[in-house]
Amino acid sequence: MSRSAHPAGPRHADVLPEGHYSAPPADLNSLDPKVWSRTVSRDALGVVTVGGIDVKTLAEDHGTPAYVLDEADFRDRARAWRTAFGADADVFYAGKAFLSRAVVRWLHEEGLNLDVCSGGELATALSAGMPADRIAFHGNNKSTEEIERAVRAGVGRIVLDSFQEIVRVAHIAQSLGKRQRVQIRITVGVEAHTHEFIATAHEDQKFGIPLAGGQAAEAVRRALKLDGLELIGIHSHIGSQIFDMSGFEVAAHRVVGLLKEIRDEHGVELPEIDLGGGLGIAYTSDDDPREPHEIAKALTEIVTRECESARLRTPRISVEPGRAIVGPTAFTLYEVGTVKPLDGLRTYVSVDGGMSDNIRTALYDAEYSVALVSRVSDAAPMLSRVVGKHCESGDIVVKDAFLPSDLAPGDLIAVPATGAYCRSMASNYNHVLRPPVVAVHEGQARVIVRRETEDDLLRLDVG
Ligand code: LLP
């Protein structure tokens, strides 16, 4: 795979993935609603608009590159998850996908809870007024200081990830005179159908406590004995960008199996089960994600069925979608800087951002779509690769795409479905400044995370 070895040389990239993009799409100007946020369309002049504002105005007012986030779409998707799971379940938005104070407020207003996994995410959540009891604190190596802050703040749950952490959290809670609600994250031995770096419940990896070998049962035994802890449930997260529900089915089966063991051994029925996040979204027209109501129905049925057959009361279910809420709600707006045709290969289109604003292509071989958005074009399709401005040949944003052959410097192009894990994984590589996040809603654009400046860079560099 190109991520493990990226050979240099002029012809290193001349082979398209088999069966992929063998033919250009019928209409290069069309915008597939699967991959674009819901308020996106073209106006009478052919310019793409989102939230009632056209991209030329956005580029003029806020510069490029910029992440453009469709607030109505975000709220709709958050609400759809909330509604689908209903009052007997909890939806924790996974802040790692993208977190900002505006997003925290939207989530709060839409009735969602929040999963944070660092002191920084916790600080953002609390500073935007998310009630602490609606926050879950995650992470495989929380620092003592982070645990102390979370316990003091009164977070609704801490998800314990190791034997050491069981003792650490218990000790800290006790020394603060508190009893902390906790879940134990277990690895159920399921390998989700996804990139190996983001599958998390198979056993050979750093997260959670393995179910295998009785380790999870031992963790429960220890947690139940400690006065500083109130064990409320078991947590499992099997991976990310998953379309197939069968991994969740196996995970639920195994988690419920553990709940049964706990009941039989300790006479305790734990009241909660968290099945994590990981539901996939469409990055290209080939992807077919499920709707929240289908997912909710499937997960609820699986857990209910498993509990009935184990003669357990059905626990309260929670889920932690990140990508599935924010991913489709944003696109990255770039200006084309150079267009370089390489005879017989493809055309390299350089934009004013790159791997610093979207590392996913380089890191996971992720696929994206792209479109010319500042105008329509009738020109013939041109096999293209959208690349950034970084000093690295692996600096690719969209590996294989068709763009119109009259594409020229100054045109605006946009890459959809960049709401998740793009701004949150952005870097300053080559001292390139991280783009702003501009939220659009009913004809108004508002910067919710401002563009980084050279002063920001120099402020950290204390000489
Ligand atoms: N819950 C837990 C415990 C997690 O570790 C994660 C993601 C989620 C929920 C949310 O997963 P989602 O619904 O967003 O798939 N950087 C990678 C994804 C890493 C996911 C890490 N954990 C990517 O860009 O694809």
How far away, in angstroms, is 322 Cα from ligand 1 center? 7
Range list for CATH 2.40.37.10 in the chain: 21-70+328-459
Q: What is the DSSP letter of 288?
A: -
Question: Looking at residues 100-118, what average pLDDT do you find?
Answer: 98
| Structure confidence at residue 432 as a pLDDT band (50, 70, 90) | very high
Candidate of 323, 360, 418, 424 to mutate for ligand 1, largest count of ligand atoms within 8 Å of Cβ: 323
Which tens digit of pLDDT belongs to each residue from 64-100? Answer: 999 999 999 999 999 999 999 999 999 999 999 999 9
Catalytic site residue from 117, 307, 391, 422: 391
pLDDT on residue 195? 46
pLDDT on residue 21? 54
pLDDT on residue 41? 98
Q: Could you list the beta-strand ranges (E) of 172-228.
A: 180-187, 209-210
- Work out the percent of the chain whose per-residue pLDDT is above 70: 93
Q: Specify the DSSP element, H or E, that contains 459.
A: helix 454-460
Any alpha helices (H) in 21-162, and if so which ranges?
55-62, 71-85, 101-109, 119-127, 144-153
pLDDT on residue 198? 45
Strands 412-416 and 330-342: antiparallel
Question: Looking at residues 359-370, what average pLDDT do you find?
Answer: 97
CATH topology assigned to domain 138-321: TIM Barrel (3.20.20)
pLDDT at 235 over 90: yes
Give the residue whose CA is nearest to atom 9 of ligand 1.
277
454 annotated as a binding-site residue: no
pLDDT at 11 over 80: no
276 lines ligand 1 (CB under 6 A): yes
Name the CATH superfamily, with its identifier, for domain 21-70+328-459.
Lyase, Ornithine Decarboxylase; Chain A, domain 1 (2.40.37.10)
Whether the CB-CB separation of 349 and 405 falls below 8 Å is answered with no
In the annotation, is 422 catalytic?
A: no
Measure the CA angle with vertex 323, ends 336 and 35; round to 5°.
50
Range list for CATH 3.20.20.10 in the chain: 138-321
Task: Report d(CA 125, CA 115) in Å as an integer.
Answer: 9
pTM of the model: 0.94
| Structure confidence at residue 202 as a pLDDT band (50, 70, 90) | low
Q: Report the atom number in ligand 1 closest to the C-alpha of 159.
A: 3
222 annotated as a binding-site residue: no
Task: Report d(CA 427, CA 431) in Å as an integer.
Answer: 9
Which tens digit of pLDDT belongs to each residue from 209-227? Answer: 999 999 999 999 999 999 9
Interacting residues of 435 by C-beta distance below 8 A, sequence separation 6+: 64, 65, 66, 67, 332, 353, 357, 423, 426, 451, 452
pLDDT at 229 over 90: yes
| Structure confidence at residue 204 as a pLDDT band (50, 70, 90) | confident
| Structure confidence at residue 4 as a pLDDT band (50, 70, 90) | very low
Which tens digit of pLDDT belongs to each residue from 119-168? Answer: 999 999 999 999 999 999 999 999 999 999 999 999 999 999 999 999 99
Task: Report d(CA 16, CA 82) in Å as an integer.
Answer: 40
Whether the CB-CB separation of 54 and 47 falls below 8 Å is answered with yes
Question: Looking at residues 195-204, what average pLDDT do you find?
Answer: 54
